Structure 1
Amino acid sequence: MSLTCVKPTPFTFIVPSYPLRTTVPPLLPSVVVTELFPDIDLSQVELLFPLPRPGGIALEELVIIACLVRHLKPKRLVEIGTAEGRTTLNLALHTPADAEIFTFDLPPTHLGATVAESGLNYRQMGIPEPGCLFRSHPLAGKIRLILADSTQFDWSPFENSVDFVFIDGAHDYLSVRKDTENALRLLRPRGVILWHDYGVAEGVTLWLNELAKDLPLVWLKDTSLACLIRRSEEG
């Protein structure tokens, strides 16, 4: 199923049901995506599996991410938190033909070790296996599914080589912090990191509020997406 969305702005974001809603106030400055990327085209975009699905992001957020990668044309992408692979597929749809997308989720043997503060794992969301939406899809050739704990993974082969990172894995403070620290090592100059569930999940919100003291993070208006653009090698 695909959908062509015409004139997707302004957005009205509805926060999905989430068991760990934060009481921590979001402190990042709120900006519209066109302030960060003035030349981005939000007038029309094709989406695969556009309707909300278990563990998936909101439609409005999917529109922004699809338009953003279409605009940025990243060649190497990392996604932490695959779930069904809905976001992954749309990254594949809107990136260059030679792009590589590495998407990470936990192996089945690690699901029992997740803590409550992390949020639901894919089995708890009713997803039989991560990436089930793209496994037999024609775009699967651009995607590599890696079943590993992203906080323990050896990222050294990816250092300073990634153009776009989407962090939507475990939502507890320590995991988000570790995923972020790893992402900063991976990111090339002018690369982009997006975090999901800012202002929704307590661990995400608390960590990014702290990180914003050192890095120019922003909150994309009417979404739960936080964003960092690496302007130089220093961050």
Structure 2
Amino acid sequence: MTNKVKNYLENGVHEIRPKVLFKQIEAKFPDSNVMFSVNIPSSAIGGLTLLESSILVTLAKLISLSEFFEFGTYMGATSVLMAINSSAQAKITTVDLEPESIKSSDGSDGALILLDDVQNDNYLRRMFAEKGSYYIDRADTATRAKIHRMYHDSRTLDPDKEGLTNRFDFIFIDGGHDYETIRVDSDNALKMATEDAVIIWHDYRSKIHGDVTSFINYFSSNFPIIYVQNTMLAFTLKGKFRSLL
């Protein structure tokens, strides 16, 4: 292990290029062309870029994903991405608000949805209330069978009560983007993660959702955080997976 790798294990935010992870895939599968399946990115806001999708799948393959949990179902594209790029035995659980609980008054100013974090989140909630997680709905039967949809306000989610504690080896946090929601989701993610796990956040260094960046910068005072350049993804590694880099 080089000094550079050792630095990744120290608290704080550390930047890596995407190819750092891709090299790990090449090392793990030296005799294979490692492929993955992905939808053409949606024209709707709130989804992942192709590079971000490839980073999630790379991490899933590096750890041999067993159980995945997602805060923030939205369109369901990420759940489908994980389902189709994991083993047949892998389980995908995703949580979002009850669509009926989203008030019609949670509107947004179209001119501000790409500029203001509150307006942006209101818009995403309204789209979810209107359309649901349609990527899951239109997936094939085998893919849908791997995905369990939960409807719950994540801010009041009790991992012990719901049987979610110490269960997931990959957790993706991309629900509400206000500081308190991110804090609660992150605290719960630590409870829900297995001893060896990856926890990853979306919208780090976003130009809209500044609370995500503020929280992760604070969180990094107690945990090492890896930021993947040219994305809005930041993650931390637990247990044996800390040796991935």
TM-score calculated relative to the size of structure 2:
0.75
Alignment match, 2:151: 147
Alignment match, 1:18: none
More divergent stretch after superposition (58-67 vs 32-41): 32-41
Task: Write the distance in 1 (CA, Å) between the matches of 2:184 and 2:119.
Answer: 15
Residues 1:31 and 2:16 are matched in the alignment: yes
Of 26, 31, 37 in structure 2, the residue corresponding to residue 47 of structure 1 is 37
More divergent stretch after superposition (74-83 vs 53-62): 53-62
Residues 1:56 and 2:47 are matched in the alignment: yes
Superposed displacement of residue 121, structure 1: 5.0
Task: Write the distance in 2 (CA, Å) between the matches of 1:187 and 1:194.
Answer: 11
**Any stretches of 5+ residues in structure 1 without a counterpart?**
1-26
Task: Write the distance in 1 (CA, Å) between the matches of 2:35 and 2:205.
Answer: 26
Task: Write the distance in 1 (CA, Å) between the matches of 2:154 and 2:128.
Answer: 21
More divergent stretch after superposition (186-195 vs 69-78): 69-78
Over residues 193-235 of structure 1, what are the superposed CA-to-partner deviations in whole Å (9 max), with x where a residue is unaligned? 1100000111110000001000011211211001000127xxx
SS at match of 1:208: helix
Task: Write the distance in 1 (CA, Å) between the matches of 2:124 and 2:144.
Answer: 20
Task: Write the distance in 1 (CA, Å) between the matches of 2:158 and 2:100.
Answer: 18
Alignment match, 2:202: 196
Alignment match, 1:228: 236
Q: Compare the two structures and name the one with the higher helix fraction.
A: 2
AA in 2 matched with 1:146: M
Q: 1:125 to 1:131 in 2, by over 3 A?
A: closer
TM-score calculated relative to the size of structure 1:
0.78
Root-mean-square deviation (CA), in Å? 2.5
Percent sequence identity over matched residues? 28
Instruction: State how many pairs are aligned.
Output: 206
Say if 1:45 and 1:67, in contact at 8 Å, map to a contact too.
no
Over residues 179-205 of structure 1, what are the superposed CA-to-partner deviations in whole Å (9 max), with x where a residue is unaligned? 000000111122001100000111110
Alignment match, 1:137: 139
